[in-house]
Every structure is written in structure tokens, then in C-alpha cells.
Amino acid sequence: MTEQNAVVSNVSAAITSQDKINSIVWKACDTFRGVVDPSEYKNYILVFLFIKYISDVWKDNYEKLVKEFGDDKERIRRRLERERFKLDKTCSYDYLFAHRNDARIGQIINEALEKIEEDNKSKLEGVFRNIDFNSDLQLGETRERNARLKNLIEDFSDDKLDLRPSKVGGSDIIGNVYEYLIARFAAGAGKKGGEFYTPPQVSKLLAKLVEPKEGDRICDPACGSGSLLIKAANEIGCDNYSLYGQESNGGTWALCKMNMFLHAKDNARVEWGDTLNNPKLIEGDKLMKFDVVVANPPFSLDKWGAENASSDKFNRFWRGVPPKNRGDYAFISHMVETAVADGGRAGVVVPHGVLFREGSEKKIRKQLIEEDNCLDAIVGLPQNMFYGTGIPAAILIFKKNRKNKDILFIDASADYASVKNQNILRDKDIEKIVKTYKARKSIAGYSYLASMQELKDNDYNLNIPRYVDNFKQKSEIDIEKTQKEIEELETKLTKVRKKIKSYLKEMSFDKNISQDGLELFREC
């Protein structure tokens, strides 16, 4: 086999393994469908995938050490102590499988999760606190609950679901199946889906636009399940970076912690709490600063804490306090303030209203443009890209300490593919946006580099159509050709009318109308 063929074969095998694992794990959801709400059963599925993964990794490591050290149990034990995580035998998937018929199986799983947390406090403390495998409310009374848990355990016993790194080729496949599940759950969760998951194409685009570099500190202050943070880290191409995040929803925070672990980003610091009212990424008595800040915060968040903003001890809202029923500029203000002063980059997904609304939002927008000179680019995205809302969104890119004083507008709203009920950015669409952003040039119907004077003349209204005219002129109509087509249609219509008249005459004498007549009536 040639080297090229070997590469193709390996890629094909990886895709096959990914698809098989995705299919098996998604089928496991059948245990809960119809009896448990999807917003709840996703936690049971994802937690069990996590248990299966760490169990298989532990087993893989143990088997390698046995080959290396034979019967020397002490040396094996010492080496296992230095692994990424610890796993007691009573917490392993194999142990749970052996006890799947136990009347206490729900409690046994709970105890295993508690032990996993206790043995891995620095990485997993609190991750499973909101999940109860012994819940009557969520899983039914004892007999029904035990039957469902037994089915769940057996679903994960499929021989094809061997998640040992030596079998699946590393952590990428495991991380990908976790992302696959989160995406499927987000798609089925309606509006709530957008609260914990950013479409992967949007994450990829945003990560490329902020250009993470080796050694960077990267933060997402509204990190959801962590997919955007992971995409930003993957842009760097090495492990020399640090990840930080904060998430207000406890269940989603737990998803993020597990997601980081499954992508081998164990050292990511992800805090649980409300970023706007209780930021937890603090150094001393000041906000931590980051080279890159990215986020897809909830659109126009109501009751975000405006009443406390004027007394914010970190003075994040000095440009103005956003409206109490629209928190978009509250997140933007936080992100800009936490980006390092010299070259810090921030990228945020926002609804289009952020670009042109009046009042306090206009005041903040003007400050960011005119005095701070940190708004670098605006990218308009296609509509119907985000879970739970069909409205189009935009990406704002900020850069601290810019030399230029213009803003690049990109209207990418017409470039996408439709997949089922959702639009997606294709690789070529992402590449076109990034290339245009880096070139920083005006392209007719697609981008425009607006000067500071033009922004002032438009009274700091950043509505993209003011700057990018993407109206496509319709081609001129060929009058002679059109007239000829009309005459041909009229000739055909005359013939059809004659046939109909003959069939009507036939019907008046014969109740059994011919088949040709019936077909013609159907066509008409």
C-alpha cells in the first residue's frame, strides 16, 4: 500500500468509526424518548458517555502498564497515580455493567459519580451535582427506573463502542461524538438550544477572525458547553495556551467541564456564575485580562442586572449603562474591558439591533468607535443559523490599540447552504470572509471599508446595508423573445381548449369519459 493510500485508508476508517460511535450513542437515547424530557435526558446520556470514556481510557492505560511491568502491581499503581485522572474500580463502566440488575443501580451510579468527583477534585469537582440517576421524578418509580438504567448500561456495552484511545485513534473522535450529541440535543431543544451551543461553523469562523496565537490567554465569558473555546484553542496548532470561561447555568457548566475533559483540555478554568453580576475570573481585586475574548452570549438578555451596573466595582460600564431589557452591550462592555490593552482581540455574536439602536446603546457604540477606536470589523451572517431563532446575526470584532481608524463591513448573508431546517456556512464561505477581513478592502456587493468621517456622517449607525449595497440588478428583459414565448403559449392554449371542448362533448353523450380525457383534466 502506498503512503497516499494508507492516509486515505486511515481517514476513511476514522470517519467510519466516528459515524458508528455517533449512531450507537444516539440510539441509546431511545431508552428515554417519550418518557423523559430531552432537556433532561441529554444529561444522563452525556454523563454516561463520559463514564464509558474514562473507564475505557483507564483500562487502556492499565493494559499497557501490565505489558510493561508484568505482575509488579506496585509499579503499576504508582504509574496510574500519575495519570490525568483517577478511577476506582467501583466507578468503572465494567463495574456498573456487572451490577446492572441490582435493585440499587440508580444509587450505585450516583455513588460512582461522587467518588469520581472526590478523586479528581481539581478537574471535576461539582460536575455531577445536578444529575440524579436515582430520581423518581425524572426516571420513574423503582421498577421502571431500574429497567431504563439497565437498558442504558447495555446500550453502551456494544462491542463497537470501544472508546480506548488505542482503538479510536485519540481523543478527537470522543470529543467529536460529545459535540455531535450536544448539537443534536440543541437542535431539538428549540430556543433553549441556543443557550448552550454555538453552531460549529460560526465557532470556526469567529475563532479564525480573532486569530489566537501561541501563548495566548483565551476566554469565553458566556461559554455554554465550551465549543467556541475549543474551536479557538484548536486554531493555534499547539498546546501552548490557556483557556478560561464562565457559565451561569449549572447544568451547562457541567457539560462544558466534561467537554473540555473529553477534548483533553483538562486544565481549562471554567467558573460557574453570572459573568455580568458576579465575574469570577479575577486576579487580586481586578478582572483578569486576556489576549482573546470570544462569546455568543444570549441575544438581548432581559433583566441582566442594569440596576447594579452604575456601581459595578470593576467599572465595566463607564461608557454607559445598556437598557435593562437588552444586555447585548453589557456583554460587549465586559469583553472589551477584559481584553489586554495592547493588541487584545474580542469577537462577539450579536443581533443586528446592536448596530443601529438609539438611546444608551448608541452612546456606547459611539464611544467604542470614536474615542476607543477598537471596533475593527462587522460581519453580517445569513439568517436561520442559530438554534431557537431565525433572525440573522452579526459578528463584531474588536482590537485594542489599533492604528487605523476605519471599520470593515462584510455582508456574508447570501453565502450559505441549507441543510434540513437550518442554514450553515460552508468552508468556502468561511474562507471568503476571513480572506476579505485580512485583505481589508472594499468588494462591490460584499464588503466596504468605511472611514471615520463616513461613520460620523451616518450618525454612528452601523446597519450593514448603509455601507454594503448587495442589491443585484436584474438582467434586462428581451421584449421580442418574451413576446414570441407568449405567442407560443397562446397557440398551445388554443389546442388544449379544443381538446377540452371535444371531451366535454364526449361526456354529454357517454358517462364513461375516456382515460385521455381524465388525464387532461388532471393536467389542467
Per mean pLDDT, which range of 195-209, 232-246, 311-325, 351-365 is the poorest? Answer: 195-209
pLDDT at 6 over 70: no
pLDDT at 518 over 70: no
pLDDT at 475 over 60: no
pLDDT in tens, 501-511: 777 776 664 44
pLDDT at 329: 98
DSSP element (H, E) containing 135? none
pLDDT in tens, 28-81: 888 887 777 776 778 888 899 899 999 999 998 888 899 888 888 889 888 888
CB proximity list for 324: less than 8 A, separation 6 or greater: 302, 303, 304, 306, 307
pLDDT at 522 over 60: no
pLDDT at 164 over 80: no
Region of residue 215 (left: phi > 0; alpha: psi -120 to 50; beta: else): left
DSSP element (H, E) containing 266? none
The larger pLDDT score, comparing residue 110 to residue 389, is at: 110
pLDDT at 280: 97
pLDDT at 119: 94
Task: Give Dmax (Cα) for the chain.
Answer: 103
What integer is the mean pLDDT of 342-359?
A: 96
pLDDT in tens, 266-304: 889 999 999 999 999 999 999 999 999 999 999 999 999
pLDDT at 508: 61
Per mean pLDDT, which range of 6-20, 88-102, 351-365 is the poorest? Answer: 6-20
**How many alpha carbons fall within 13 Å on the CB side of residue 429?**
21
pLDDT in tens, 253-268: 998 999 899 888 988 9
The residue type of 236 is: I
In angstroms, the Cα distances linking 82 to 43, 77, 222, 225, 513 are 29, 9, 33, 28, 87
**How many alpha carbons fall within 13 Å on the CB side of residue 379?**
28
